[in-house]
Structures are given as C-alpha cells and as structure tokens.
A and B are shown apart, each in its own frame.
Chain A
Amino acid sequence: MLTMVSAHGLDPGPTQRPLTAGLLAGLAAALPALAILDSFAWFETLAALFGTSPRTATLLCAAGCSLSGAVYALALGRGANDPLGGWLFGLAGGFFLWMLVPLPLLHWLPAWSGTGRPLLVGRPAVGLLLAALAWGGALGALFPPIHRALRAGIDTEPTGRASLGPEAAAMPKLARTHDKPEGPPA
C-alpha cells in the first residue's frame, strides 16, 4: 500500500492539515449518513441490541464517521484533496469502510461467534450500506474545500520536519558519535 501511495505522489505537503480536515469533513459528511440511518430505523435497532439509547448510538456513529474521515485523509493523502475526483474517492472510501468496519462488527462476528444470526438484517442493513455511500460521497466532496480553509500559508514553518534552510543540506545521521557541531573560530 505504501508503495502504491508513494508511486502516486500522495505525500501531503507541509501546509496541509489532513488529520484535522479529515476529522471535520468526516463529521460534516456524517449528517446525511445519520439522516439515512435514522430513516431506516437503524439507531433504534442498534440501541435495542446493545441496551443503550438511540441518542448514544447516534453520537457514537457520528464520532466513528469523524475518525473514519481522518483515516481516509491519511490513507489517500493528496488524492483526498483532489477537487475534481475527490467525491469519487470518497464514494470508494465509504464502500470500503462499509465492508471493513460495520459489516464485520455487526454481521459476521456475531454470526461466527455462535450467538446466532447477524445483528442487522433487512431494512437496517440496507440503510447501513446507503448511509456508508452517502457518507463517502459527501466526505469526498467536502474534504477539498474544508482542507483549503484549514491550509497553512506557504511561509508557515513546518512542524516536526527537517529544516528548510541551508542546514537541510547536512546529513547529521552520517556523523560519527564523537563529532559535535563546532562553534565559530575565536
């Protein structure tokens, strides 16, 4: 995966804030997804299954969407920020999220663990797929503008990275252990 990502120049640049943008875009994209899930009686079903309230289930789902947005941003890097193709990447992201997270958690694990039938069947299961696609499409469409609003200026000093100045030419890792930077001659 890393080879694939690096082959496409996906490293986010120093002025980008993929995590923050992903968290916010994921949360914003959760709105249509939550509406769909609600219309498919998903939260009531989930709350009944786990003995909690629909509101708690809704909040947990929103938090999950937000975190998933950050993961999406980290995984796709520059691609997530593509103003033209972003929505399609998002749609694909929603599809894969659906396959990788809620399906195993809600359907396959309970079935495999011998507790009986999968937790979500029928309308709530349909709602889950549609919500994941809606979330992905909205995430992909919203990410670029949200990212642009958060982007730092070109003059912002990057954090946690090598220097931008002349000392960037140096290779400190090559130094022998007893080498120390010398001060100016007296």
Chain B
Amino acid sequence: MGNKFIAGNPNLCIGCGTCMAACMMEHPPIDGVPIPRLALIKTRQTSVPISCHHCQDAPCVASCPEQALYYEGTRVEVRENRCIGCSSCVLACPYGAIEIVLTTSTKTIGGVVYQNSRKPYVLKCDLCVSKPEGPACVSTCLTKSLKIVDEASIKTSTQDKRVKAAQAAEIAASQFELA
C-alpha cells in the first residue's frame, strides 16, 4: 500500500489561494481562528501549495517521542492529547508541512475557572478524511491543479510513462537503423 497525498501542478496553479481558504473552512477553527493546513508557496518561477505527503517512512512519525504522530492505514495521523509541543516533527519534516500552534484550554469546576493552560496543536493535512467527497482543496481548485496521488494513480502514471518511453524507443530504433 503506497502513500496517498495531494500534489499540485505549478503549471496550472494561478496562485489564488482558494485551496488555502477551503482548507481553513473545512477544519474546525483553532481558538476561534480558522487556519489552513497547506501553504501556497510562491517563488519567482513557481506557485504551488505544499502539504503533508503522508510519507511511508515518515520522519515526523519517527521523530515523535510520544507517538503523537502515527499511521492510520497509509495516513499520518495525530493524537492531539499526546503532543507535548516539542517541535521535533516540525524539524524532521522535509516538506515543512507540519506546524504547531498553541491553543488555550480552560478547565472549570462549577463554572469557576481554575486552570488556563496552553495546549499544543499539530496542524497538518488530514486529507479531509471526515469529508465523504474528499479533500476540500482538490474539489475547489478552479484550474484543477491539485490532484490526489495514491498507489493506483502512481501505477497509471508510471505505466503511461513507460508506454511513452517504449514508443520513443521504437522511433529511436527506426532512426538508428536509417542512419
């Protein structure tokens, strides 16, 4: 079972940020503030959203001393209650696809606040797993520059590339013979 993740095509991306807005609104706000889990990155030549690749040997999972990050099938998931906010996963992730934000949690007894504590919250792509129609960024992208990549689509794409290579080999061979 290969990994499943969202990949952007910079040739189609117009840098409008609809994916980020969709991501913000699809997930529950953090302390009342909606925050996106993918980042639209622009260099001079490229515009493309970056998000978690749900790697098969994920450095974030390996780096977490509390097993807050773990595999749910092929997906890298988070157990929020285990996170201690050490930022190891943030450092380990080669995509910069994880962020940790602090939320305020208030404990009360009989309506009286006895503790205001800050709790770390791991922000990363969850592939909109609770949404039956799939990731919101993919469905809202108006140029269809975002696609879900999974084992099946990788197989198809690999096969397509091999067929093209084979056709190219045939042309090369015929020209070699002519020469």
Q: Do A and B bind each other?
A: no
Chain A positions near chain B (C-beta within 8 angstroms): none
